[in-house]
A and B are shown apart, each in its own frame.
Chain A
Amino acid sequence: DAGVIQSPRHEVTEMGQEVTLRCKPISGHNSLFWYRQTMMRGLELLIYFNNNVPIDDSGMPEDRFSAKMPNASFSTLKIQPSEPRDSAVYFCASTPGGLRTEAFFGQGTRLTVV
Chain B
Amino acid sequence: SQQGEEDPQALSIQEGENATMNCSYKTSINNLQWYRQNSGRGLVHLILIRSNEREKHSGRLRVTLDTSKKSSSLLITASRAADTASYFCATDLGGSYIPTFGRGTSLIVHP
- Chain A residues with CB under 8 Å of chain B are 4, 31, 33, 35, 42-43, 45, 48, 56, 91, 93, 95, 101-108
7 CB contacts below 8 A, A to B, read A4-B42, A35-B101, A91-B43, A93-B99, A95-B97, A102-B45, A108-B41
Interface size class of B (residues with CB under 8 A): 20 to 34
Q: Which residues of B in the span 69-100 have a Cβ within 8 Å of any Cβ on A? A: 88, 90, 92, 97-100
A4, A42, A91, A104: which contacts B102 (Cβ < 8 A)? A42
Q: Is the interface of B mostly helix, strand, loop or mixed?
A: strand
- Give the residues in chain A near B2, CB-CB below 8 Å: 42
Taking a contact as CB atoms under 8 Å apart, the answer to whether B43 and A101 are in contact is no
In the complex, which residues of chain A have a beta carbon less than 8 angstroms from the beta carbon of B42? 4, 91, 93, 105-108
Q: Which 3 A-B pairs have the closest CB atoms?
A: A105-B42, A42-B103, A43-B101
Would B104 and A101 count as touching, CB distance under 8 A? Answer: no
Separation of A95 and B100 alpha carbons in the complex (Å) = 13
B44 within 8 A of A: yes
B residues contacting A by CB (< 8 A) are: 2, 30-31, 33, 35, 41-45, 48, 88, 90, 92, 97-104
Chain A residues within 8 Å of B35, by CB? 103
Q: Nearest chain-A residue to B3 (Cβ)?
A: A45
**Nearest chain-B residue to A110 (Cβ)?**
B40
Q: Which residues of A contact B48 (CB under 8 A)?
A: 101-102
**Bound: A68/B27 CA distance, A:** 30
Shortest CB-to-CB span from B45 to chain A, Å, is: 4
The answer to whether B102 touches A101, judged by C-beta atoms less than 8 angstroms apart, is no
Q: How many angstroms from the CA of A71 to the CA of B94 in the assembled complex?
A: 28
Q: Determine whether the beta carbon of B45 is less than 8 Å from that of A103.
A: yes
B52 vs chain A, min Cβ distance (A): 13
| Residues of chain B contacted by A103 (CB below 8 angstroms) | 33, 35, 43, 45, 90, 99
Cα A42 to Cα B44 in complex, Å, equals: 16
Please indicate the chain A residues that have their CB under 8 angstroms from the CB of B44 in the complex: 105
Residues from chain A with Cβ under 8 Å of B30 in the complex: 101
Q: Which residue of B33, B98, B101 is within 8 Å of A102 (Cβ)?
A: B33
Least CB distance from B30 to A in Å reads 8
